[in-house]
Amino acid sequence: MLTKIKSEHVVFYTYPMNYLNNYKEDIDEEVRETTNEVTKEAKEELIRTSPKGNGHRATPYYKGWTVKVGTRGKSKYEKVIWNKTNYQLTHLLEFGHVKSNGRGWVNSSPAGGHIRPVEEKYGTKFVDLLERRIGGIEWH
């Protein structure tokens, strides 16, 4: 059985939807701003904490850290921090490797790696900051 939809029902339905869409847009904006802020800080710390070594590469390892925009979609915003110039070294410096002659093991950096501590620190900071910002959003 078909029934007619009255105009007051349409208005009643669209108002909550507009309200929720505005709230979602506010949250999306906070996620983008927080992501940009935290990835910038994390990149700067990676540059400071990366091994400086006296290698013979054209671009030193610590100068290669950069941020690229990952997936963007309706409800997804992603940024990736990676070493653009010497990406092959990240795993070796973080976890150690076998010596080139096959005898013995070269441990990771003295602090036990330089990437994981930054990842843990800024992962926690991102969650805390985002919760605080989203919690402060006023409902329109």
Mean pLDDT for 105-128 is 83
Q: What pLDDT shows up at residue 138?
A: 64
Mean pLDDT for 16-23 is 82
Domain residue limits, the chain: 7-135
Q: Is 70 exceeded by the pLDDT of residue 59?
A: yes
Mean pLDDT for 64-92 is 87
pTM above 0.75, yes or no: yes
For the chain, the average pLDDT equals 82
The three-state DSSP-derived secondary structure of the chain is: CCCCCCHHHHHHHHHHHHHHHHHHHHHHHHHHHHHHHHHHHHHHHHHHHCCCCCCCCCCCHHHHEEEEEEEECCCCEEEEEEECCCCCHHHHHHHCEECCCCCCEECCCCCCCCCHHHHHHHHHHHHHHHHHHHHCCCCC
**Residue 97 region by backbone torsions, left for phi larger than 0, else alpha for psi between -120 and 50, else beta:** beta
Instruction: Match 């700067």 to its residue by tokens.
Output: 44
- Range with the lowest mean pLDDT among 37-41, 92-96, 126-130? 92-96
Q: What pLDDT shows up at residue 84?
A: 93
Residue 56: phi, psi to the nearest 5? -105, 20
Q: Is 60 exceeded by the pLDDT of residue 10?
A: no
Q: Is 60 exceeded by the pLDDT of residue 7?
A: no
Q: What pLDDT shows up at residue 21?
A: 85
Q: What pLDDT shows up at residue 91?
A: 83
Q: How many C-beta neighbours within 10 Å does residue 39 have?
A: 19
Pick the residue with more confidence: 92 or 49?
A: 49
| High-pLDDT (> 70) share of the chain, % | 81
